[in-house]
Amino acid sequence: MRQVIIIGSGPAGYTAAIYAGRAGLAPLVVASSVEAGGELMKTTEIENFPGFPDGLQGPDLMFKMQEQAEKFGAEVLLDDVVGLELDGDVKKVTLGSGAVEEALTVIFATGSAYRKLGVEGEERLSGRGVSWCATCDGFFFKQKEIAVVGGGDSAMEEATFLTRFATKVYVIHRKDTLRASKIMQDRAFDNEKIEFLWNKEVTEITGDEKAAGVTLTDTVDGSTSHLDLEGLFIAIGNDPRVHLVHGQLNLTTDGTVAVEGRSSKTNLPGVFAAGDVIDITYRQAITAAGSGTVAALDAEHYLAGLDKTLLDQALGEQPVEPVTVSA
């Protein structure tokens, strides 16, 4: 049995692992088989992570965090969690391999998943011109006309990035103002290849084998129009990834895991949550990292207050012998 299992390997998961590792808790990090490193693995340049004045690549930051966690004794497992039993003193985590890992505490840091538009054609044309990852797929849209849906920082970042490849990038936004930060807005406004389509909502994606266009509905007057496109990048936000804990952990009305005050404590003793899965407001690498720290400290505190026999079990059923000091 383990003392700590951390589920997730974004900034929250790895930072929790660094702190838990340094506290001697030898955490197991279940990092996912294909999404290890989390959302930052799909970004390019990160300019706002403190300590890196020249910026660095998202994947590089995540590999450094993993290395730092492993240096302090974290074990990183490239597998997925398929089942969780979180009540009781001993938590059970079932992995994709079929193995079941047990621990006294679980830190749940699964982040969030891309939100879908939920319109006709989206599912069918996904990977066929419809994408959620500009850095992954932008390359295939050289000399093409494409669009980004959304009005936040990630939409601006994607649109700006995509002008490296595309001849024209429309930004489709359902309001007439952007949620994005000033610096990201200015970059997009200054880019000649970017054209904003305000107060427009994508209501259908058309095309047989590949995306060929979108139907736009005006959010003010309800009129519809068609726009020919060869690619559509969707950046309309994220939803907390909570499907593993439905019915076990209390959720907020926003769909995040509910935690007590500024702590990471969920409604179940020994279960802590951190990162984007508890935060739909800030969603930054650094806030997620801070949240991971809180969770590790909360877990450490919880373990310190546990019955000694349980702890001994977690430490390999080997009670520590009292040390005899010879005279």
Applying CB under 8 A, which residues contact other proteins?
Answer: 32-37, 41-42, 59, 80, 96, 126-129, 131, 133, 135-137, 139-141, 209-210, 231
Catalytic residue among 87, 133, 218, 239: 133
Looking at the Cβ atoms of 52 and 140, the one nearer to other proteins is 140
Give CA–CA dist 243/91, Å, rounded: 17
Closest approach, Cβ 80 to other proteins, in A, equals 5
Closest approach, Cβ 58 to other proteins, in A, equals 8
Residues 233 and 146: beta-carbon distance below 8 Å: yes
| Chain centroid offset of residue 192 CA | 31
Looking at the Cβ atoms of 205 and 299, the one nearer to other proteins is 205
Looking at the Cβ atoms of 23 and 77, the one nearer to other proteins is 77
Q: Is residue 133 among the annotated active site residues?
A: yes
Closest approach, Cβ 137 to other proteins, in A, equals 5
Looking at the Cβ atoms of 138 and 151, the one nearer to other proteins is 138
Looking at the Cβ atoms of 130 and 295, the one nearer to other proteins is 130
Residue 207 three-state SS:
coil
Closest approach, Cβ 169 to other proteins, in A, equals 15
DSSP for 136-199, please give it.
Answer: HHGGGGTT-EEEEE--SHHHHHHHHHHTTT-SEEEEE-SSSS--S-HHHHHHHHT-TTEEEETT
Strand partners, 170: 147, 195
Q: Residue 247 is which amino acid?
A: G
Closest approach, Cβ 147 to other proteins, in A, equals 14
Residues 298 and 4: beta-carbon distance below 8 Å: no
For the chain, how big is the Rg over CA atoms in Å?
Answer: 23
The residue assigned the tokens 């590790």 is 296
CA 19, 25, 26: angle at the middle one, nearest 5? Answer: 95
Give CA–CA dist 160/142, Å, rounded: 14
Closest approach, Cβ 42 to other proteins, in A, equals 6
Closest CA to 158 of 169, 144, 168: 169
Q: What crossing angle do the helices spanning 285-304 and 11-22 adopt, rounded to 10°?
A: 40
Q: Is residue 136 among the annotated active site residues?
A: yes
Sheet holding 130-131, edge to edge: 130-131, 231-234, 145-149, 168-172, 194-197
Catalytic residue among 137, 276, 279, 298: 137
Residues 25 and 74: beta-carbon distance below 8 Å: no
Length of the chain (residues) = 327
Catalytic residue among 60, 89, 136, 176: 136
Looking at the Cβ atoms of 139 and 189, the one nearer to other proteins is 139
Residues designated as active site? 133, 136-137
